[in-house]
Amino acid sequence: MIFGPVKLALRIASLAVSAVMLYFAVTFVQIWMTGHHHSSKSAQAILVFGTTENNGRPSPELKARLDHALMLWHDHRATWVVVTGGKLKGDVFTEAGVSASYVERHGVPADRVLQGAGNDTWQNVATVSSQLKKLHIVTVLTVTDPFHEDRAMAIAASQGLTTYPSPVGNSPTVKHSLWKYYAKETFEVGVGRIIGYGRLSSWTSAAPRAR
């Protein structure tokens, strides 16, 4: 008799663990599928998520995102380019500032470029949302690395945007320890869906630093 409650508790624990593993497995598959889907739709703006810059120049990863955005721009898929990303302590340049300079040098008029800030994906969107609202921009092509596409779209959608995926196909990031990026995204998407991406950002990120 004494082992009955113990067996029941173990069975419940086993079911709970299995449910959690299944939840994150499904999340991983969704992330993978989103990162390999390229929408053919046009939008009002191209939303480029920030990543590291190298003392005023785009890093290879950022350059890949910006070149992809430029391809969309020159294909007339949108009429605005939105660049994001702030700076950390000790940085001179912001990711958004470096990105804006780059796309302007490659043919995008300065009056068609919007700059945000932010040290994470939630902040990237939040710091530019007021500008988008003033211009009545609600549809965006989200440009980022494939493993990041699902979370980027979810965060933009949670802040009122209609998103279409346009992941970067040739990012240098995919050549280095890709499983770590997918593991990180699977965890953050899985947790963010439960507690909210804004709350997750407030727990894990520093305040954004603008230009």
**Torsions phi, psi for 57 (to 5 deg):** -120, 145
Average pLDDT of the chain, as a whole number: 93
- In sequence order, which residues have a C-beta less than 8 Å from that of residue 210 and are 6 or more positions away? 86, 94, 96, 117, 127
Given a cut of 70, whether residue 36 has pLDDT beyond it is yes
Q: Convert the pLDDT of each residue in 109-127 to its tens digit.
A: 999 999 999 999 999 999 9
Question: What pLDDT was estimated at residue 5?
Answer: 78
The model carries a pTM of 0.91
Ranges of beta strands (E only) in 119-177 are 139-143, 162-165
- In sequence order, which residues have a C-beta less than 8 Å from that of residue 179 and are 6 or more positions away? none
Task: Give the amino acid at 88.
Answer: L
Question: What pLDDT was estimated at residue 2?
Answer: 57
**Residue for token pair 């992809």:** 68
Domains plus CATH for the chain? 33-204 (3.40.50.620)
Question: What pLDDT was estimated at residue 154?
Answer: 98
Cα–Cα distance, 160 to 92 (Å, whole number): 32
Question: What pLDDT was estimated at residue 6?
Answer: 79
Question: What pLDDT was estimated at residue 206?
Answer: 64
